[in-house]
Amino acid sequence: MKVNKLNLKLIIGVIYLSVISIGLYFLFSVIDIKDLTSYEFIRANRDVILEYKKENFLILISAFIIFSIIWVLLLGFATPLLLFAGFVFGKWWGIILVSVATTAGATLLYLLVGFFFQATIKSKLESKFSNLREYFIKNDLLYYTSFRFIGGGGTPYAIQNIIPVLFNMPVKNYILATFMGSMPSMFVTVSLGSGIENVIDHNSTLNFYNVLSSPEIYLPIAGFVIILILAFIVKKYYFK
């Protein structure tokens, strides 16, 4: 049994590295790094993406959801998904789509890790998060929802997704807490992505004043600062 699990871990690791390597190869074979810092390049491709969205809305939604689920399964950061969702779909459609997709991806990751790697996760993380046990025992749904709400108190997104493995949290509670708890903090970043799209739409050239004078930009930033402050407080008292 141990040999089989070891082989499975090796296979999953190889698949993970292969997917990442292939994805990066194709990404950088078609995109020049210099272009990513070019306002003209971003503006031109914005028009292409938005035009494609008008003509193939359902296809783009399906592709985004599938990609997001795979991205979360591969321990990817949530921020690129949130900014893209806001930039392309707007803040309302964006937060709905990204909440559904990331919750699905996080749940699959939770099940996968809990089934195959529970012992490994406990040996690596249990001592660091042992102080959370009493909160999960009292009310795992309420606590994990609050934990998600403040962005995990500074905990990386991938670690947030697997922490409940330590406490055998029911899947139903995990789904509800992830969806409801993540939405407010995610909405801030999705709104920022939508704000960037609006700034680009109304300005042929970009400068510091145009960006910061837009309420679509400074309001999400203010919300982000508030969440950072809350995360700092939580981390100070619960992750000493």
Furthest C-alpha separation in the chain:
62
| Residue position matching structure tokens 């025992």 | 137
Q: Are 182 and 103 in contact (CB under 8 A)?
A: yes
Pick 187 or 117 by higher pLDDT.
187
pLDDT at residue 101 in the model: 94
Which contiguous run of DSSP H or E holds residue 1? Answer: none
CA–CA separation, 74 and 101 (whole Å): 14
Cβ proximity of 135 and 24 under 8 Å: no
Rounded CA-CA distance 12/84 in Å is 28
Q: Give the mean model confidence (pLDDT) for residues 21-27.
A: 62
Q: Which residue do the tokens 């709905």 mark?
A: 96
Q: What is the pLDDT of residues 124-134, one digit of tens each?
A: 777 777 777 77
What is the tens place of the pLDDT at every residue in 45-101? 677 777 888 888 888 899 899 989 988 888 878 888 888 888 888 888 988 999 999
**Mean pLDDT, rounded, for 121-148:** 78
Query: Backbone phi, then psi, for 36, in 5-degree steps?
Result: -65, -20
Model pLDDT for residues 47-57, shown as the tens digit of each residue: 777 788 888 88
Contact 83, 48 (CB under 8 A): no
